[in-house]
A and B are shown apart, each in its own frame.
Chain A
């Protein structure tokens, strides 16, 4: 069979070859390009309208390449569609200001949230969608594949092999999507060496490597100074350990970042030990190497930890505990955000973390009316993954208690993931933690979003813990009952003041609402003396000097 015209099947490859040819003048030895030629390299390989990824997450950042992208000539490079995990450096926003990029699809904006909202209002930026990490990675393999990816690692050799080590994070998922659609992968590294400790990204996935003038920026996001943990956080942590971890026998879990979860970690070797829970709870974690977990690890609580990313100063400690962490043949940890997110989605029994606001229905969000922030990976952890099919004790027990289950799938036995929100009824400056309507709804209007950005939806949320007690929301048989349970834990906020004491009494009888007293938690013991470590220095001592905290956390 013949056809009149010959269909071309390799346009992507031809295009890539053209770009690589244009870049040739800047290539020194192998795949090495000098830092001073980086801007010209970007002008040579990026075409107007390209989908471009600048690697970066809540930890490591391809900051040098981001700055270089700000310096390209907008006459040559413009209308880019950025597809990347985060907008967190000012350079990530500058490319829009300068007319180099036009559209963005992302998952988390953190510190740039306010500026992003302004840009959207001023029409400087066309907002695609706000994703979760896994969702965005998924779209890298569907309709948001980067044409050019600007990645980051510790070391490269001249053949383009990369060592991303402890902070591997997002690099594999980006590089694979880009390269296997014939895209261009450029990496900035702290140094170019002859021999790498190990190869994290093979050289034939990488087109160019550049030694950046300064080491890449990395945020110690998961370090919490125990000196700042408050008595009320300790009280909530005690309730969590007794009323949730012990109650369900939670063995496999993820802790969100924050002082609330740091308090739980520091109570395991003291309060947890006292309750005889060692070995029964908190054996396996999906989380970054939290320094506050050191005392629990050292006390023999933890069997395994897989990490989304590294944490500054924890590398030596982690390396010395290879039975606990995922360690490469070279002896150093490899993190991987994609796999950790996957495990956090399907393999844990409980997610626990803080939030900014919970509405009267139990939807929660960290969005405020003037900032477009996104949630990164929290919604992947903070939901009941519908594709889960394996059973564990905690999952099964929570499923048995699920009062709406029969309405949804009859008498079929099924488990349920625990999704726990820790909330202070009033936050700093007396901002209420429970509200009639989330600020996310206002944000949807001001920023013209498709839907209000909700971090965790009410139907996924199983427990709320406040200083008033624990609401076991999944035990509620109706939305009306669930709203009453939320009022019971909402304290003296407007939502909480609507509480009907008689109704709350009924919820207590049914075990849907439990106060600290009901749980047998002694409130008078809720003070800092219960913390296994009270300062960052205590953490260093627990680690036997292996933890090397970043300068901003050292008060010695």
Chain B
């Protein structure tokens, strides 16, 4: 449907423009707002992919919490409107981000996005899982491209099952990372010798 294409292009342009704005705008506060805009646009892209749960969580966590914390941090910095002074780490940072970007693009290009109809049963079931909030029912599975016979043979849980089943290790690793970040933040804020 051409309407979805239109929405996709609008959201993509907004997301990319927002991301560019984050690094190009000198005013740090505006950069944080740009970041929030990019987050919202990415949430919209999730909706286009029928992943409403991911979209809503994206808005709730990234826009509602992370962007707000960014703004808190910005308010505590000096010379907000001057931007960051350039420093020695610019070149390593550029190299690393270029490598990460290259890896992501390579993954995206090498993944076969178009052949879900021909993909294996497990891949299709997994797609249905990521799209369903609870346990995916027959309609979810059908819309993910499974034939009625295949729907019968798949008994699968939803996103929650994936998170605490197949992907429990990355899930726990991320929570450990966040805990480390929180403790580190506390240690830094408390200062030395107190």
Q: Real complex partners, A and B?
A: no
Residues of B within 8 A of A (CB): none
